[in-house]
Structure 1
Amino acid sequence: MKRRAVYLDRDGVLNRAVVRDGKPYPPASPTELEILPGVPEALARLRDAGFRLVVVTNQPDVARGTTPLSTVEAIHARMAATLPLDAIETCLHGHDGECDCRKPQPGMLLRDGAAHGVDLRASFMVGDRWRDIDAGAAAGCRTILIEAGYDERAPAHPPHHVCGSLAEAADWILSEGKSP
């Protein structure tokens, strides 16, 4: 029997995004990392229900030279030590079309699913941006948009559910979202 997973964007889903001019940005350092309220509990409930929990995050500032790789790794180490996560997958590429892993491309989800026996049709992608929803749709997952009110375009694929937090997303996954 294949496993089910919940794929999670990082900034704006697990931790507070830094919003400037209506656009979300990552924290600049591990000390700026602020886990959002209810996230540890929501992840624990999903883990207890048997879901594999995987962060899938674009971090293009590494390729652009504005954030050192060591900073991203330190943020991820702090997250891994704090939250019940199975893996953190990161795209470090800077431009669309450069790879198959930068969301909205589904590469991170497809590779994790294949490597860990995940049934993507029975899995979920939770994100706060159009790129997350479109990546989840391209991978065959059910998608959940955490509405943050960013000033950017809507996803090409409407999400299966819209809510305000990871706790609400977990509620939906655990109740209404049981079948693909």
Structure 2
Amino acid sequence: MINVQIEAIFIDRDGTIGGNEQVTYPRDFKLFPYVLNSIATLKKSGVLLFAFTNQPGISKGEVRLKSFEEELTGFGFDNIYLCPHQHFENCLCRKPSMLKMAAKEYQLDLKNCVVIGDRWTDLIAADEVGCFKILVKTGNGEEAYKKYHQKQFFGRWNQVHPDLVANDFNEAVNWLLSQK
């Protein structure tokens, strides 16, 4: 249970609000049913909504940053935190750095923020900065959840536990709204 007023919710893109377990570029990306309604309901509640996503296809020249910005802004996010780099580029903007950037920009206490994602890397990023962690079972979430229960994670991955597991984004949002 969340015992504080939520300041912001960071929402992963691929597999969390649409698409599948693979990265899908904006021209082909499809939201899951009712996600736009859930985003609109969260916005009405007054909480800040941020997209946070790693999109290495940008640095590979496969897609433009502007395409993601237009798409995510169109979904209703208040701001977008996007890393366009590949894993090996050793940039400073991958998860969890984007959570720290948002905290600085919006004067957020990250302990009063929520991360919703379908990958264990989303949960690790959230854990590193003290956010409430929600794993959704869409996208890669079902596989991550099975690995978690079968104790197939090692090291740091094994030390992170979701605060909530939801079947999908809409269930996560409904749960969050029920906590107010």
1:9-88 aligned at under 5 Å gives the runs 9-17=12-20, 24-28=21-25, 30-63=26-59, 65=60, 67-68=62-63, 70=64, 72-81=65-74, 83-88=75-80
CA deviation digits over 1:26-83, x for unaligned, max 9?
114x3311011121111112111211000110112233x2623x2x4213312322x2
Cα separation, 1, equivalents of 2:15 and 2:118: 6
Moved over 2 A (4+): 148-156
* 1:97 Cα offset (Å): 7.6
TM-score (norm 2): 0.80
CA drift of 1:160 comes to 0.3
2:124 is the counterpart of 1:134: yes
Amino acid at match of 1:67: E
One-letter amino acid of the structure 2 residue matched with residue 77 of structure 1:
E
| Residue 5 of structure 1: how far off its partner (Å) | 0.3
Specify the SS of the correspondent of 1:35. Answer: coil
The answer to whether the aligner puts 1:102 opposite 2:99 as a matched pair is no
TM-score, with length taken from structure 1 = 0.80
Contact residue 50 and residue 81 of structure 2 kept, 8 A: yes
Label 1:125 to 1:3 Cα distance change in 2 as closer, same or farther (>3 A): closer
**Which runs of 5 or more residues in structure 2 are unaligned?**
none
Are the aligned partners of 2:11 and 2:52 in contact in 1 as well (CA < 8 Å)? yes
- Once the two structures are superposed, residues 114-161 of structure 1 have per-residue CA deviations (whole angstroms, 9 ceiling, x without a partner) of 111222111100000011011011111100000232377654410100
Conserved in 2, the CA contact under 8 Å of 1:143 and 1:161? yes
Q: Percent identity?
A: 29
Query: Residues of 2 paired with 1:168 and 1:9: CA distance?
Result: 15
Match of 1:122 among 97, 112, 115: 112
2-structure distance, mates of 1:3, 1:159: 17
In 2: Cα distance, 1:38 partner to 1:119 partner? 29
Q: Which amino acid aligns with 1:150?
A: E
SS at match of 1:76: helix
Q: 1:100 to 1:75 in 2, by over 3 A?
A: closer
Aligned length: 163
